[in-house]
Amino acid sequence: MKVAFTILGIIIFLFIYWKRLKEDYSSSMVFTSGLYVILGIGIFGAIASRFLPVWWFWFDMLGVAVGLGLSILRYKLRFFETLEALTVALIPWFSFVFLINSIQTSSLVSLVGFIIMLLLLVSFYYFDARYKRFVWYRSGRIGFSGLTILGVFFLIRSLVAVFLSDVLSFVGTLDVLLSAVLAFSAFLAVFNLARTTT
């Protein structure tokens, strides 16, 4: 079951990622970039599984960051546009992690996590369709939806880590700190984008 959901998650990830970027980049470029991310998650996930299994989430995030970095360096992809595509494309894949855990362990918390991920996905598309109408977001620059959802995700993660440190890949106080820093960084980036007029 885990393998089936993983394959399904990868297929959905590649499709959404390609769909978000296909207007600005060639399909081969987009799919290669997506494969960099998948390989990054696979390699760093394997390292975590072998040496630091409780850190699997953060190693996966590191794999995403490396894949994103390589893509930008090789293909000169625009950062915020690519990050936004990655964000929405990864949500379904990562939501399956919660779903699998909830099925295998009968965990209500993981089921709630799965539902939250789906709500974040819906919220992304809601923001994506309307962010240019927000008066305070006068720049209208792409990146609002992805950064906002990332900020909300890591904010929720930091709050959950305070009270439920045994959920999936939570590592206590350090997890709270890392998640809070990333949430703050995402919201700060949204604020800076809103002020940018060029």
pLDDT at 108: 86
Separation between Cα atoms, residue 141 and residue 118, nearest integer Å: 25
Give the torsion through C-alpha atoms of 56, 16, 18, 178, to 10 deg. -30
pLDDT at 171: 66
CA distances, 138 to each of 84, 131, 150, 184, 197 (Å): 19, 10, 21, 21, 7
| pTM (two decimals) | 0.91
Do the beta carbons of residue 88 and residue 144 sit within 8 Å?
Answer: no
For residue 91, the Cα-to-chain-centroid distance in whole angstroms is 6
pLDDT in tens, the chain (198 residues): 788 999 999 999 999 999 999 999 999 999 999 999 999 999 999 999 999 888 899 999 999 999 999 999 999 999 999 999 999 999 999 999 999 989 988 888 889 989 999 999 999 999 999 988 888 887 888 999 999 999 999 999 888 877 765 555 556 678 888 999 999 999 999 999 988 765
Do the beta carbons of residue 70 and residue 34 sit within 8 Å?
Answer: no
Separation between Cα atoms, residue 63 and residue 66, nearest integer Å: 5
H or E element: which one contains 91? helix 79-105
Do the beta carbons of residue 79 and residue 72 sit within 8 Å?
Answer: yes
